[in-house]
Chains A and B, each alone.
Chain A
Amino acid sequence: AQSVAQPEDQVNVAEGNPLTVKCTYSVSGNPYLFWYVQYPNRGLQFLLKYITGDNLVKGSYGFEAEFNKSQTSFHLKKPSALVSDSALYFCAVRDDSSASKIIFGSGTRLSIRP
């Protein structure tokens, strides 16, 4: 069965520093991987996805993610963090055998201090 793990409940970074939010996955087929962000009292917003092709995927708000098949990871990164990046981040996965549901990780709270 497919699954996603986000090993960090919280990540704290100083503004201007690079940030990484970790995600590892387990799927039976080809992985379709997603990152979503959730701001307080708002729905999930799509950031980026990996389907196939380049291992480095660029998304919204300056975020990018690196797909690593050998390590089964899909870490979210940003070169220079902003205070406004503070939010809850979810990694999600869907594989070839499941055309419908996607499986979300437990979420990582990102806190950027000024």
Chain B
Amino acid sequence: GAGVSQSPRYKVAKRGQDVALRCDPISGHVSLFWYQQALGQGPEFLTYFQNEAQLDKSGLPSDRFFAERPEGSVSTLKIQRTQQEDSAVYLCASVLLVGGRSEQFFGPGTRLTVL
């Protein structure tokens, strides 16, 4: 398909486990974003890539969260030593152009549940 894909769609982790969430953006899209959406709330910005460069990681809640996009395409969000408060839907979005005028295209999200 031509849209943003994310895997896995659902992930259950025991507290303390490490998890890795994958995002495949739309081919050719330069910018990639990660958001965290807690239950009943709007998405909150985590981090942003332009090609392989991580230009903004101000939204990452702790040093347990790490994101990478080594070849400027697929991105992985890693959460180490998961905690119950990490339970949320993690959304990935990509944008064709750099700058503020283009809309972001979102993937279906990964629902993470930490027990």
- Residues of A at under 8 Å CB distance from B? 32, 34, 36, 41-46, 49, 51, 90, 94-96, 98-107
Interface residues on B, range: 20 to 34
Contact across chains for B106 and A100 when beta carbons are under 8 A apart: no
A46 near B103 (CB under 8 angstroms)? yes
B80, CB-defined interface residue at 8 Å: no
Cβ–Cβ < 8 Å partners of A51 in chain B: 101
A106 and B100: CB pair below 8 A?
no
What is the chain A residue whose CB lies nearest that of B109? A43
Q: Which of B13-21, B36-44, B69-77 contacts A (4 or more CB under 8 A)?
A: B36-44
Chain A residues within an 8 Å CB radius of B106: 36, 43-45
Is the Cβ of B41 less than 8 Å from the Cβ of A107? yes
Query: Which B residues lie within 8 Å of A34 (CB)?
Result: 103
